[in-house]
Amino acid sequence: MNKSMNVPPQLNEEQKTALLEAAGRKVGLTICRIENEIEEQDLKGAGSVPVYGVFVTLKRFRQVRAQSGCMGDSIPLWEALNTAARRAALEDLRFPPLENHEINDLQFEVWILFSPELIGSKPEERPQYIEVGRHGLLVVRGEHRGLLLPDTAPEKKLDARGFLEEACRKAHISANSWLEAETMVFRFQGMVFSGNLKEKFPQELTHILQPPKGPGQKDLALLADHCYRNIIKQFENRIPDYYLPSAYDGKISGACLRVRLKSLSADCAQLHLNHPQPLQATLLGLSQNASLAMRQNKLQPADLQKTALCIFWDPKNLGDAQTADVSELDTRRHGILALHFGKWILGYAPGKDPQSILEDVLKNSHFDRDESTTILSVQVACTDIAFMTTTVQKPMVKDTPRPAIAAGAFYPANVQEMETMRSSFFSSETIEKKAFSGAVIPHGGWPFAGKLIAQTLEQMELGNRILIFAPKYQALGVDWGVCPNPRWNLPGRPMEGDVNLSRAMTEAVESFQLDSLAHEREYGIEVVLPFLSHLAPGAHVVGAVMQGGVRKLETAAKQLAAWIQTLPQRPTLLAASDLSLYADPKQTPRLDETIVEAMTALDPEKMLAAVREKKAPLTSVLPCAFLMLTLRELGLLNRSHLVGHPQSVESKNGVQRNVGFCGMLFE
């Protein structure tokens, strides 16, 4: 290793300026597909300086847009900078290809890396060799490599141990692989320079940086009429008009076709954020969806009165619902797009205050106002004066029994087989029951979790009203949904619901909504019901699923506790939770132990912090945290009794994924 790499490169002000000029010019021209190279003489005498590596990061509105680098044992600075700049402009496949017009909004950073050192002959001592904010990390194991720059740990608020784990994740290996001798860990140092990309772009070429204009009002009118005709043609099984030569057909990020009928209007929409698609091909697909929906609802072409269009493109990430700054948004041309767990909503209101539009978007979508909701701006062209469209489905309240969707998959569908398997899980001896205040039970299929479910519930005195909270993993339905169905169908005897109690709970806890859709594909509550049907055959069950919304847990728990105190009889409270859903098999035992320790210590905040720190899914432990917070508000979280916490291992495509379970009783 070249010894001169172990000291910071000594660059004077002229050389620093030259470095930024050369890097910015190289990145900008490469994005525009204009050939150019950085030569040694461009760096004013610093080109031959040997470095460990160079990384170039491009950011748009404070969000990383592309990043790449060049590393080696000892590389001349000009060569490493030329390679890193080209790769950042073209080769970061995590993001859509960079467009010319984005140069107007891009900031760039150039990191020069030096002083690489292999650390920790004893792996467990590696954290003590890392100074957060000073060192970057490179983790190498076989063909796997993961590099993190020195600013990563401070930005993500990681300590040395967390920094090592994050580097392992970057290498796509187990988060605690740094504890194994087979994994090599290098620390290095770096110096960073930053600038505005457009300022480094040749002035004589700025005309090629104009943003896409999108369709004009004339195009929109032609295309709306085009869609109207195609809906009717496809409804009548005629060949549609695939292309309208006289209208705009550039690439877009999304579109909504609003179909207005005699008695209602309906939206057909598509989003292409990462891979923009041609407008007219998108509209052809939306027209086909509209014609199919008309058939399914037994409508006729005569019912179709008008079509409206909203087209959007040029998305810019503004941050999350907490940090997004929309104050400078020109609402005459831009709308606000919010994304949350696979759902999205677009708000466009020309001339309206952008903060008011953002408020309307969040209010109408019920998205959480935290880091789980991403806010973007988009350019919009629309046939209507203002427009709001969303993929968030309205809650649906069904008055029919909720079907047994998990029977045959997560537990037997045959009544006799189910009863035989269920009986095998219960203790052969008589178990003394106690009036526990609540319990955490596994969220899983019977082969893995059935015995622990039975062993936990058989110790409880179950009331005639039972509230069960479970994680929500599917996008269908609202994020916090209470089942409004009057009955839960099961193989054999069904379990009764309680429509009035369900409605009262949603009125008391503002985060909850009545929604049958939210329960349509979730199995976590259903797999528990046959045990309750056996242990408390006359009981009524109210089930609720939850996804996201960590920030509203405390408020929701206080509201639930206050409501429970008004009831003539306190219901039994259960939470079906996973510990470490599909976590790395090597990381799972330690994470599970941390979660169980926090539960045993009656500390839901510590449990949530541990899951966040390990970047495991928070949804899996939300019901458990919600239960514990509610019991604490009721003064009923005083002691814990661990029943067990086994794991199941699933293997798919050669990759093992763990699910941790827990049974715990509280009093």
- Interval 117-131: pLDDT, tens: 999 889 999 999 999
Give me the DSSP letters along 345-403.
EEEE-TTS-HHHHHHHHHHHHT--SSTTEEEEEEEEEESSSSEEEESPPPP----SPBP
Query: Cα–Cα distance between 17 and 137 in angstroms, integer?
Result: 27
For residue 443, pLDDT beyond 80: yes
Tokens representing residue 177 in the block = 């692989």
For residue 392, pLDDT beyond 90: no
- pLDDT for 604-619, tens place per residue? 998 888 887 776 777 8
Confidence of residue 94 (pLDDT cuts 50, 70, 90): confident
Instruction: Give the mean pLDDT of the chain.
Output: 90
Stated pTM of the model: 0.68
Report yes or no: 146 and 170 within 8 Å, Cβ to Cβ.
Answer: yes
Q: By C-alpha distance, which of 211, 195, 210 is closest to 57? A: 195
Q: By C-alpha distance, which of 280, 269, 271 is closest to 222? A: 280
pLDDT confidence of residue 342: 83
For residue 465, pLDDT beyond 90: yes
Query: Cα–Cα distance between 561 and 508 in angstroms, integer?
Result: 10
Q: By C-alpha distance, which of 520, 512, 542, 510 is closest to 476? A: 520
Confidence of residue 414 (pLDDT cuts 50, 70, 90): very high
For residue 529, pLDDT beyond 50: yes
Which whole number is the average pLDDT over 305-326?
91
Residues composing the chain: 667
Confidence of residue 461 (pLDDT cuts 50, 70, 90): very high
Which whole number is the average pLDDT over 300-318?
91
Which whole number is the average pLDDT over 133-155?
93
φ, ψ at 283 (rounded to 5°): -65, -35
pLDDT confidence of residue 462: 96
For residue 649, pLDDT beyond 70: no
For residue 650, pLDDT beyond 80: no
pLDDT confidence of residue 243: 92
Q: For the chain, which domains are there?
A: 3-208 (3.30.700.20), 217-390 (no CATH), 434-666 (3.40.830.10)
pLDDT confidence of residue 655: 39
Q: Which of 147-151, 363-367, 487-491 has the lowest mean pLDDT?
A: 363-367
Query: Cα–Cα distance between 188 and 2 in angstroms, integer?
Result: 14
For residue 587, pLDDT beyond 60: no
Q: Which helix (H) or strand (E) holds 446?
A: helix 446-457
Tokens representing residue 565 in the block = 């105190």
For residue 546, pLDDT beyond 60: yes
pLDDT confidence of residue 653: 41
Confidence of residue 78 (pLDDT cuts 50, 70, 90): very high
**Residue for token digits 């619901």?**
497
Burial level of 604, CB count in 10 A (0-12/13-18/19+)?
Answer: buried
Which whole number is the average pLDDT over 262-269?
85
Percent of the chain with pLDDT strictly greater than 70: 95
pLDDT confidence of residue 647: 62
Select the more confidently predicted residue: 337 or 392.
337
For residue 565, pLDDT beyond 90: yes
Confidence of residue 210 (pLDDT cuts 50, 70, 90): confident
Question: Angle at which helices 553-564 and 499-508 pack, to 10 degrees?
Answer: 130
pLDDT confidence of residue 589: 55
pLDDT confidence of residue 475: 81
For residue 334, pLDDT beyond 60: yes
